[in-house]
Structure 1
Amino acid sequence: MILKKSTIFSVLFALTVVFQIQGQEKLYNGNPDTSFETARKLAFNDQRKQAQDTLVHILTKYPNYSDIRTFLATTYSWDGDYKKARKEFAYVIKNDLKNKENWIAAIKNESWSNAYYEAITMADNALKVFPDDAEILLLKASALENIKKPLEASTIVEAVLAKNPEDSKALAFKASLDQSLRKNAIGLRSVVDVYSEVFDPMQLHTLNYSRLTPYGSIITKLNFNRRFNENGVQFEVDMYPKIAKGLYAYVNFGVADSFLFPDIRYGAELHQSLPYSLEVSAGFRALQYDNTTLIYTGSLGWYTGNSYWSLRPYLTPGDGGLSTSGLLNYRRYRANADNYWSTSFSMGFSPEIYQFKVENNENTIINLQSQRFNLSYFFTTHNNKNAWGAQFDLTHQEISFDPGSYFWIYSFTLSWDMRFK
């Protein structure tokens, strides 16, 4: 069947009229304030999609209702849809430059999307409208900190506090910045081992200095050991170079001129972050006396909430076969990485763990039986400048020159570190 041209035009005209009527019916027709309140309730009850649909519907008739558009942008930002939020914030700022809340929300949106340079630019533009505004200045300082410019951030915070020394947000930010600006630390660590029989108490004291660099941290140690009524000193360096995102290394080197320590010790280990908050590592340690003992090790770690679990084996090949040992550790973090308690349990003998508890320094590795339990607690002062630690170890160890006989070792450790710029 062939339709006439006039018929086709009539059908098209009718469809156009229908679509226009439907479009008109979709236009908002109600009380915007009431609908806005309904949308807010939906948004705060985890029904943001419905809330956003309602807000967009209202704006079809009231496009310049800035509070509605700002709230719509905020919900987009909550959902991580930063591009949509940016568009809406730009609209309301253009139409109302004097609304500070819009500027603040827009700057936060840029920071939440990790667009820190854009956040800084937006903060600078906002400061032209609201000169020296403390809230905007602190948002700029936060973005500067996130692009690794803590000194510039600190200067801004100090300026805010110069005008208002009681500004609680600025004071808290200053404390946080002070901690990140402390790239240096000195510390002391003292260990006393008390034996149930055979040996007199033994001591190990360590003076350390560490520095955090853009390439990783470096720690230098001076170890003083007193055993068998003899004194010995060892110099040691630990480095943690960053290699790539999620990949870093551990490198160790130490020298001594005393039989109480290895003549030379060295080691290396690679650490790689994995999905699901996992981390793995693999490496070795070497202790050189008359001969060199190699110890192969690695770890599997898992972060879950405020907890951390790790499992570390030690494999030591020798003339008598392969000596194996393992350590299971659990940490429970509190306020930050410097505040936690920890417990661990290990079985088997490893000269890496027990190098200060062995009775002699011969390089013959035997399959000694040993079990060790550790309980530790670490905390900082209120400004995180000083870090303290206390540990207790209980070890049940076979005597190397009397196989089948055991003694107990009670170890007490205290540590202190002071950080500074």
Structure 2
Amino acid sequence: MMSTLTKKRCGNFKKIYIILITSLFSGSFQMIGQEKAYKGDPDVSFKTARDLAFNNKRKQAQDTLLHILTKYPDYHDVREFLASTYAWDGNNLKARAEFKYILSKTHTIKTTWVAAIKNEIWGDFPFQALKLSKKALTVFPNDIEILELQNKVQETTMISALTAGGVQTSSSKIVNNEAIEKTESNIENKVRNNTIGIISEIDFYSEIYDPMIYSSLKYARQTKYGSVIAKVNTNSSYDDFGTQFEVDLYPKIAKGMYAYLNFGVSDSSLFPDYRYGVELFKSLPKGFEVSLGFRGLQYDSTTMIYTGSVTWYNGNDYWSIRPYFTPGDNGLSSSATLTYRKYRNDADNYFGINAGFGISPELNQNYYFANDDRIVNLKSQKINAGYYFSTNNKQNAWGAQAGIIHQEIPFDQGNYFWITTITLSWDIRFR
């Protein structure tokens, strides 16, 4: 057996061995760290990095720029150029972080503001770009270049019905220059002109009716002439199930002007036999947009609905009011809805709320019964709220909405029931 003294000696040798190994590795890591520490002339290295970037060697350029920043973290020209190379590569969130660092240190470098705004535009984050442009103008009031960027992005934030199909569009082209020859094609590769989406709504009635379920499956495509959306709608109500086929077109007419065209067909009593609609939209100064149009719903006879809208885009805020007027044998029926949205980075990310009164046959098709009586003069008040968001690459977008309606009973006017609605949606985009 090993003596106690021998065991102690073995233990001491083990301790010494561990100390030597630890010291050896520690020294090696220190030497490696010393080898990686920047020791050169930052100006010379910066010029080298620029030459690399302009010769399509962006990764090597970024490594050099990062190396410089390990010793000179506040060399803002270096960090700004690094951020720009990230933006050229489509890494807009990494670029944003670098620009944010510079602007947290100083607000007086105009080129940083301009590059940061362009990065948000290129990344298709128009509302973020608008926010930055407004901040930049507090530092550089009435600056022509920044004002032009603000005007461009203000137009982009006016989210027209052309995007109603959830089709992603590139908000801006990047100016060509020798440094970023491939950037425009990179941006085009990110744009997804096709969308498949599904939306489903369930209505719970406080009395009389069982829950009703409405769903819609769509395919949308963005073309140079505007958006095209094909939909298959289903409705499960009154122990019946119906299907409707529908097409929406949003053709561009001229700058700041486009139209809405609609046609649908169904052989179910839960939908009109035919539906059609036309509406013209026109942009106005100061972020306003107006529209005017009509809808037709054909059952045994045709109901005409006249509508329009006034919309105001104020930065990240969206306000819109839309009335409906329906002539009938009992006079003119009217309803209206007020919508507010608070956008974040882009059209896919926002909180929305809308409130309204009255019934429109276009929005309340379930109030058409077997005898085809059109009940459009019922009293009704509603409010709902929703939240919509997307993934960073904008390939997927989701939405959730909940609301409540205080509705006059169709066959017992003067008495009311409550309707609770829940709506979920999902879009997936692809090239």
Scaled by the length of structure 1, what TM-score is found? 0.61
Percent of aligned positions with the same letter in both sequences? 52
Query: In structure 1, what is the Cα distance between the partners aligned to 2:250 and 2:384?
Result: 25
* Structure 1 match to 2:365: 355
Find the residue that maps to 1:325 and give its secondary structure: strand
Find the residue that maps to 1:336 and give its secondary structure: coil
Counterpart of 1:331 (choices 325, 329, 341) is 341
Task: Give the 3 Å change call, closer, same or farther, for CA 188–361 of structure 1 in structure 2.
Answer: farther
Counterpart of 1:278 (choices 285, 288, 292) is 288
Find the residue that maps to 1:351 and give its secondary structure: coil
| Aligned residues of 1:193 and 1:409 also touching (Cα < 8 A) | yes
Q: Is residue 307 of structure 2 the alignment partner of residue 307 of structure 1?
A: no
Report how many aligned residue pairs link the two structures.
271
Q: Is residue 415 of structure 2 the alignment partner of residue 405 of structure 1?
A: yes
TM superposition shift of 1:415 = 0.4
Task: Give the 3 Å change call, closer, same or farther, for CA 178–416 of structure 1 in structure 2.
Answer: farther
Deviation string 1:278-329 (CA, Å, 9 cap, x unpaired) is: 0000001111111100000000000001000001110000000000111101
Report 1:19-30 matches (<5 A): none
Deviation string 1:141-161 (CA, Å, 9 cap, x unpaired) is: 45xx4xxxxxxx12xxxxxxx
Deviation string 1:367-420 (CA, Å, 9 cap, x unpaired) is: 210001010111001211001010112111111211101111111110001000
Q: Is residue 369 of structure 2 the alignment partner of residue 385 of structure 1?
A: no
* Structure 2 match to 1:288: 298
Find the residue that maps to 1:266 and give its secondary structure: strand
Query: In structure 1, what is the Cα distance between the partners aligned to 2:370 and 2:309?
Result: 28
Find the residue that maps to 2:286 and give its secondary structure: coil
Task: Give the 3 Å change call, closer, same or farther, for CA 382–250 of structure 1 in structure 2.
Answer: same
Task: Give the 3 Å change call, closer, same or farther, for CA 216–195 of structure 1 in structure 2.
Answer: same
TM superposition shift of 1:228 = 1.0
* Structure 1 match to 2:67: none
TM superposition shift of 1:365 = 3.9
Query: In structure 2, what is the Cα distance between the partners aligned to 1:240 and 1:255?
Result: 19
TM superposition shift of 1:78 = 5.6
| Aligned residues of 2:325 and 2:333 also touching (Cα < 8 A) | yes
Task: Give the 3 Å change call, closer, same or farther, for CA 115–303 of structure 1 in structure 2.
Answer: closer
Query: In structure 1, what is the Cα distance between the partners aligned to 2:361 and 2:400?
Result: 23
* Structure 2 match to 1:64: none
TM superposition shift of 1:355 = 1.5
* Structure 1 match to 2:218: 208
Query: In structure 2, what is the Cα distance between the partners aligned to 1:367 and 1:115?
Result: 49
For residue 217 of structure 1, what is the amino acid of its counterpart? S
Larger radius of gyration: 1
* Structure 1 match to 2:263: 253
Query: In structure 2, what is the Cα distance between the partners aligned to 1:81 and 1:373?
Result: 39
| Aligned residues of 1:289 and 1:362 also touching (Cα < 8 A) | yes
Q: CA RMSD in A?
A: 2.5
Query: In structure 1, what is the Cα distance between the partners aligned to 2:289 and 2:281?
Result: 7
Query: In structure 2, what is the Cα distance between the partners aligned to 1:237 and 1:378?
Result: 24
* Structure 2 match to 1:244: 254
Deviation string 1:10-47 (CA, Å, 9 cap, x unpaired) is: xxxxxxxxxxxxxxxxxxxxxxxxxxxxxxxxx9499x
For residue 303 of structure 1, what is the amino acid of its counterpart? Y
* Structure 2 match to 1:29: none
Task: Give the 3 Å change call, closer, same or farther, for CA 357–414 of structure 1 in structure 2.
Answer: farther
Counterpart of 1:345 (choices 343, 350, 355) is 355
TM superposition shift of 1:79 = 3.7
Task: Give the 3 Å change call, closer, same or farther, for CA 351–231 of structure 1 in structure 2.
Answer: same
* Structure 2 match to 1:129: none
TM superposition shift of 1:362 = 1.9
| Aligned residues of 1:289 and 1:361 also touching (Cα < 8 A) | no
Report 1:143-222 matches (<5 A): 145=184, 153-154=185-186, 177-180=188-191, 182-222=192-232
| Aligned residues of 2:279 and 2:294 also touching (Cα < 8 A) | yes
Which structure's relative contact order is higher, taking Cα pairs within 8 Å and 6+ residues apart?
2
Query: In structure 2, what is the Cα distance between the partners aligned to 1:256 and 1:44?
Result: 62
For residue 284 of structure 1, what is the amino acid of its counterpart? F
Scaled by the length of structure 2, what TM-score is found? 0.59
Unaligned runs of 5+ in 1: 1-42, 47-74, 83-113, 127-135, 146-152, 155-175
Q: Is residue 373 of structure 2 the alignment partner of residue 373 of structure 1?
A: no
Task: Give the 3 Å change call, closer, same or farther, for CA 372–214 of structure 1 in structure 2.
Answer: same
Query: In structure 2, what is the Cα distance between the partners aligned to 1:363 and 1:378?
Result: 37
| Aligned residues of 2:367 and 2:374 also touching (Cα < 8 A) | no
Find the residue that maps to 2:362 and give its secondary structure: helix
Unaligned runs of 5+ in 2: 1-106, 111-139, 148-171
| Aligned residues of 2:360 and 2:376 also touching (Cα < 8 A) | no
* Structure 1 match to 2:236: 226
TM superposition shift of 1:357 = 5.3
Q: Is residue 277 of structure 2 the alignment partner of residue 267 of structure 1?
A: yes
| Aligned residues of 2:296 and 2:304 also touching (Cα < 8 A) | yes
Query: In structure 1, what is the Cα distance between the partners aligned to 2:371 and 2:320?
Result: 29
Report 1:40-59 matches (<5 A): 44=108
Query: In structure 1, what is the Cα distance between the partners aligned to 2:370 and 2:295?
Result: 19
Deviation string 1:237-266 (CA, Å, 9 cap, x unpaired) is: 011000000000011100000101000000
* Structure 2 match to 1:100: none
